[in-house]
């Protein structure tokens, strides 16, 4: 099935998608800051460039978009260029597992939250982060 928009328009649409500082990320970070929690964001020197990192506590947090990370409930693969998107999302999922493994081998705690979890109940994510930090 052909794409419904031109190649140029598709490029514009895709380039507008943020890789950092999405609404989901900024909202969660505001909540963490309001609790007085100090963190680093988008830490380049850490594996996978976590969205939020508590380096001293050895806790990293990844906020996974339902589309890009292949949420089984919400990810809808586009019909146009379907095989490309399936491969792309599968590579992302594989990389996520590899990153989790690297951190676990280094005794870091990895927390991953789906986009829909943050949208539905950000307080629950905050509670889980708080519990993780208390254990560290």
CATH number for position 80: 3.40.960.10
Question: How far is C-alpha 94 from the geometric centre of its chain's CA atoms?
Answer: 14
Question: How far is C-alpha 53 from the geometric centre of its chain's CA atoms?
Answer: 12
Torsion of CA 91, 92, 94, 98, to 10 degrees: 130
pLDDT value of position 105: 98
pLDDT value of position 34: 95
Residue 6 lies in a domain: no
Residue 68 lies in a domain: yes
Q: What pTM value is reported for the model? A: 0.85
pLDDT value of position 18: 58
pLDDT value of position 93: 98
pLDDT value of position 80: 85
pLDDT value of position 6: 81
For the CA atoms of the chain, what is the radius of gyration? 16
Residue 8 lies in a domain: no
Residue 64 lies in a domain: yes
Residue 5 lies in a domain: no
pLDDT mean by block of 10 residues, the chain; 136 residues: 70 65 88 95 96 97 95 92 94 98 98 95 95 93
| Residue-number span of the structural domain to which 49 is assigned | 19-135
Number of domains composing the chain: 1
pLDDT value of position 10: 66
Residue 105 lies in a domain: yes
Residue 81 lies in a domain: yes
Residue 12 lies in a domain: no
pLDDT value of position 127: 96
Neighbours of 101 (CB within 10 A): 12
Are residues 31 and 126 in contact, defined by beta-carbon separation less than 8 angstroms?
Answer: yes
């Amino acid at each position: 099935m052909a794409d419904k928009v031109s190649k140029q328009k598709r490029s514009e649409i895709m380039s507008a998608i943020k890789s950092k500082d999405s609404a989901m990320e900024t909202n969660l970070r505001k909540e963490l800051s309001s609790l007085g929690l100090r963190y680093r964001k988008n830490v380049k020197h850490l594996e996978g460039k976590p969205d939020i990192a508590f380096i001293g506590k050895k806790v990293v947090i990844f906020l996974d978009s339902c589309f890009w990370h292949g949420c089984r409930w919400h990810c809808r693969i586009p019909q146009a260029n379907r095989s490309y998107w399936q491969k792309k999302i599968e590579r992302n999922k594989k990389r996520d597992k590899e990153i989790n493994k690297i951190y676990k081998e280094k005794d870091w705690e990895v927390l991953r939250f789906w986009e829909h979890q943050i949208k539905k109940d950000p307080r629950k994510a905050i509670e889980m982060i708080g519990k993780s930090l208390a254990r560290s």
